[in-house]
Amino acid sequence: MNGFHMDYEVFLFIGVVLTLAAWLWTKFKKLQRSDNKRLQTIVAVGSFFPLLLIVFSFRSFAYEPFRIPSSSMMPTLLTGDFIYVDKTAYGVKLPIVHNTLIETGTPQRGDVMVFRSVEDPATDVIKRVVGIPGDHIRYDERTKQIFVNGEALPETFEGPYNGFHDDINPNGLNQRATITGEVEHKILHSDRVRHRYAHRELVVPEGHYFGMGDNRDFSADSRVWGLIPERNIVGQAKGIWMHWRPSAFIDGLKRIGTQL
């Protein structure tokens, strides 16, 4: 994954550069008021520079909002959740090129992490970190059990899943409690779905991570497309700041403020 992709961050950066050029030009020429429409346009464009700079800086170096588009992280995250992602949790990175400027930490087992897709860098993906560098990961397709360094992650059956969502029929989904690293959370399994995965057993190399969705049988993750390069990491998902789906408005309000 060399270079960069044309995403919102790139367009926002271009906007900052263009408005900066207009702002500097108006200051250099001392253009505040003019009857010339072209000059008025330049002044107007330049006036957006401070706002775009603040938005770009905050989004690039601090926090960034994301909307959950699918059911792969149920029951932790639902379609329609709006989350905020801490972009300083795993290092301060340069915008666009994503080179790390300052090391601040590394992903830990159990973290909910946003990263650029291994298959399509223009798409952001969210999964839970299950394996970190040096870990031996094995997924048993028969029992649907995850083993980390030879030890099975504990799972306790809690019963049929009755949560609200629009994406898939809940019939056949069972909820289990588990612990990944030091994080206690819920996962879902389906009695009706079984897959053959390309990556069922491996050792996570340096600079890579193994991620999985909490909705285990409805998640394309490291079992499908492989490991997550450190360079692709965007940040750590911290919490839900809004939920919007007209079909579940009241229940959605209850999710606001949920920490991950």
Could you list the active site residues?
72, 127
For 6, phi and psi rounded to 5 degrees? -80, 85
DSSP string, 78-128: -TTEEEEEETTTT-EE-TTT--EEE------TT-EEEEE-SS-TTSEEEEE
* Backbone angles phi and psi of 122, in degrees to 5: -80, -5
Residue type at position 193:
V
- Residue 248's Cβ-side half-sphere holds a number of Cα atoms within 13 Å equal to 18
Residue 116 CA to residue 235 CA, distance in Å, equals 10
CA distance 215 to 185: 12
Tokens of 10: 């790139």
Other beta carbons within 10 Å of 123: 12
Strand, helix or coil for residue 215: strand
Is the CB of residue 131 less than 8 Å from the CB of residue 148?
yes
